[in-house]
């Protein structure tokens, strides 16, 4: 469904490439985890897919195809038709990603306003409420008229998910959507994503620095280091038998209750 081939991205302000020769595929209905430390190139890869690269500030090459449609070199008119409709994005910091002056419900329904202007304002209102219920936002009628600063971090993240799924995209890009949340809310968001994937077949690219979180959600995982894809495979296979030293270090860095429970990767 999504095919990334030999993606290279180099920002003019940096000496080395942010992404160097990355090739990835995501099948229909699959959840792929993209793991690595900050600066490894995860977000740049996802923003390349979403058409959000600052093209004037970087050099890029390769190809990105969504169901056969080339995205990396597409013009802005085509990308605008795809963004929000075929590709949904959930950013890491919902408080900074959402417009503080717009009501939550208006932001959830904005995609419909852009891509389906024929829908009446009343129908758009009910569609937004339905998406908010699907994202398990409590009391959506009340939440619709509230502003971002009035919601908790977990509720804001659900609002962003509602905005991303309202048009039933083929692909959902999730950039560390649980990083700023406590473990209880984090678990709830992961269960919500599983439900959306199971019920609607939405393919997902889930970005994280935490292999433990990815293990709970993703069937397959790809590991990036310094812009390079160093390991890829079924999540359980990579977890149980990591081959690259960097992957071993990521797993070994996961906190455990006792030293006995820690992964035995001390020999690398």
Q: Where are the domains of the chain?
A: 1-86+170-268, 92-168
Cβ atoms of residues 249 and 257 within 8 Å: no
Over residues 218-231, the mean pLDDT reads 96
Report which of residues 262 and 68 the model is more confident about: 68
Mean pLDDT calculated for residue range 44-49: 96
**Band of pLDDT at residue 267, cut at 50, 70 and 90:** very low
Residue 262 pLDDT class (50, 70, 90 cuts): very low
The pLDDT value given to residue 258: 61
Candidates 84, 97, 44; CA nearest to 228 is 44
To the question of domain 1-86+170-268 being in CATH 1.10.10.10, the answer is: no
- Checking if the pLDDT of 252 tops 60, the result is yes
162-185 pLDDT, tens digit per residue, is 999 999 999 999 999 887 778 888
pLDDT greater than 90 at residue 129: yes
According to DSSP, the residues that pair with 58 across neighbouring strands are 11
Does 89 have pLDDT greater than 50?
A: yes
In the numeric block, which tokens belong to residue 67?
């169901």
Residue 162: name the closest of 203, 218, 118, 106 by CA: 106
pLDDT of residue 91: 86
Residue 159 pLDDT > 90? yes
Length of the chain: 268
């Amino acid at each position: 469904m999504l095919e990334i081939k030999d993606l290279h991205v180099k920002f003019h302000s940096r000496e080395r490439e942010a992404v160097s020769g990355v090739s990835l595929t995501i099948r229909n209905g699959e959840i792929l985890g993209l793991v690595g430390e900050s600066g490894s190139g995860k977000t740049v890869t996802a923003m390349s897919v979403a058409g959000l690269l600052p093209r004037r500030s970087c050099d890029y090459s390769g190809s990105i195809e969504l169901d056969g449609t080339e995205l990396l070199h597409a013009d802005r008119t085509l990308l605008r038709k795809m963004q929000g409709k075929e590709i949904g994005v959930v950013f890491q910091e919902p408080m900074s990603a959402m417009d503080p002056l717009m009501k939550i419900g208006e932001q959830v329904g904005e995609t419909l306003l852009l891509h389906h202007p024929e829908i009446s304002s009343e129908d758009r209102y009910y569609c937004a409420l339905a998406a908010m219920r699907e994202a398990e936002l409590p009391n959506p009628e009340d939440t619709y008229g509230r502003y971002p600063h009035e919601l908790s971090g977990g509720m804001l993240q659900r609002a962003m998910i509602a905005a991303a799924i309202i048009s039933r995209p083929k692909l959902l890009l999730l950039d560390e959507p649980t990083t700023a949340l406590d473990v209880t809310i984090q678990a709830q968001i992961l269960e919500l994503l599983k439900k959306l994937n199971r019920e609607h077949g939405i393919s997902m690219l889930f970005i994280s620095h935490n292999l433990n979180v990815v293990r709970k959600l993703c069937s397959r995982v790809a590991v990036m280091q310094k812009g390079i894809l160093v390991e890829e495979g079924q999540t359980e296979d990579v977890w149980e038998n990591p081959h690259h030293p960097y992957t071993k270090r990521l797993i070994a860095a996961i906190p455990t209750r006792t030293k006995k429970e820690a992964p035995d990767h001390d020999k690398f």
